[in-house]
Amino acid sequence: MPLHKKNIVRLCCGFSLACLCQLVNALAPIPPNGITPTKRTIDYSWMSVSTWDKMHAEDTLVAQYDQVDLLFVGDSITAGWDQKIWEENFKPLNAANFGIGGDHTGNLLWRLQHGAVGNIQPKLIVLLIGVNNIGGLQETPEQAAAGVTRVVQQLQLAWPDSKILLNAVFPFDQAPSSENRSKVTKLNTIIARLGDNKTIFFKDYGPKLLQKDGDIAPEIMADFLHPTAKGYQIWAEAMMPDIKTLLH
């Protein structure tokens, strides 16, 4: 084969290989991250995808037809409110709970973009999200903060007249020396800047869940992540004055 034809063949082969690599990269699944709206696609032992879908569908019905003045959005910590505490404190305020266990900010973004807004016009939104970005997605505090920021922006886009009570992410792991504690502290330092005390109000209730030495007691968080009924009572008592103020 003449030299010039060989060069043309090599050039074409190289071009085809480059195109193939680009195609493979384009088709490769994007790893979950906290700034990309992401539907739940993985079955866990504690929650199947079908259960997640059902919970989201129930929320969309509430969003479509109910009267909601106080809206809670978040992950399992929001979802897990003790029923008695919820009914005593929040039910009289026309509250709805759009928390789903295991959600990171990307999951919550997806839900907000796929039916969770509906027709409701909450006066106040209580937001707590981000712990699964660190514990689940293994994101840095900066990456997790970017996800929380996107959620806040999505909430403002959906409900521009609503106030947002942005909760600091709760500390988790028993000992204050835990690396996760440091990550949460840094995350909260970043998202605190979102608060403007006009429409976004940042509050850190986490220290009230800690003992004097910084440890988390099992009677407050049995697994050192999710509050017990006693933990929820502490959170409710700390937050209720702010909720009442912001609702009126």
Say whether 226 is catalytic: yes
List C-alpha distances in Å: 245 to 56, 94, 124, 229. 30, 15, 10, 24
Q: Tell me if 90 sits within 8 A of 68, measured CB to CB.
A: no
Question: Chain-centre distance of CA 86, in angstroms?
Answer: 20
User: What gap in Å lies between CA 203 and CA 220, rounded to an integer?
Assistant: 19
Spatial CA neighbour of 121 closest among 64, 202, 196: 64
CA atoms within 13 A on the CB side of 139: 26
User: What gap in Å lies between CA 200 and CA 152, rounded to an integer?
Assistant: 9
Instruction: Please identify which of the residues 45, 196, 226, 248 carries the catalytic annotation.
Output: 226
Residue 178: is it exposed, middle or buried by C-beta count within 10 angstroms (0-12/13-18/19+)? middle
Say whether 76 is catalytic: yes
Instruction: Please identify which of the residues 43, 53, 66, 223 carries the catalytic annotation.
Output: 223
Instruction: Please identify which of the residues 76, 178, 215, 242 carries the catalytic annotation.
Output: 76
Say whether 48 is catalytic: no
Q: Would you please indicate which residues are annotated as catalytic (active-site) residues?
A: 76, 223, 226
